[in-house]
Amino acid sequence: MRTRQHHWNRLLLAAREEVQATLAALPPPVRERARSLPVSYENKPDPELVRDGLEPDLLGLFVGESFPDEVTGNDPLPAQILLYLDNLWDYAAHHAPTYREEVRRTYLHELGHYLGLDEDQLSARDLD
């Protein structure tokens, strides 16, 4: 158990550092908007989400209202980004520099959804 906790702590620390560095590098107007969006770190998607159709190896997820739609307030979930650290670690083939890059890319991808970008627009920005 201690080994698992140590592994989680390492993944979490690296992910938080990468998200903070990515935030700091954003243009000021985007950075200010992004700072208000919480980021949650989890091992893997909740089994209930998987039963609802999400892939078990999902890297990240944006939930809630996107920024352009916040005024409608129809979504019961607060806007946030979920990063699935064990899945990111596996996707990076357990290579620390690749893991950090995938955390950055996944964070930016999900932030793009918050800012109202669709999959085609994210792909055009090499964030697919």
pLDDT digits (tens, 9 = 90+) for 25-80: 999 988 998 998 999 999 999 999 899 999 999 999 999 888 765 555 565 678 99
Q: What is the pLDDT of residue 2?
A: 66
Structure tokens at 64: 């809630």
d(CA 70, CA 78): 10
pLDDT tens per residue, range 102-119: 999 999 999 999 988 888
Q: What is the side-by-side order of every strand in the sheet holding 80-84?
A: 39-42, 80-84, 60-63
Residues 101, 106: Cα–Cα separation, whole Å: 9
Quick one: pLDDT band at residue 125, thresholds 50, 70, 90?
A: confident
Q: What is the pLDDT of residue 1?
A: 54
User: What pLDDT is attached to residue 70?
Assistant: 55
**What residues contact residue 47 under an 8 Å CB cut-off, 6+ apart?**
none
What is the per-residue pLDDT for 116? Answer: 85
> What's the pLDDT band for 18 if we cut at 50, 70, 90?
very high
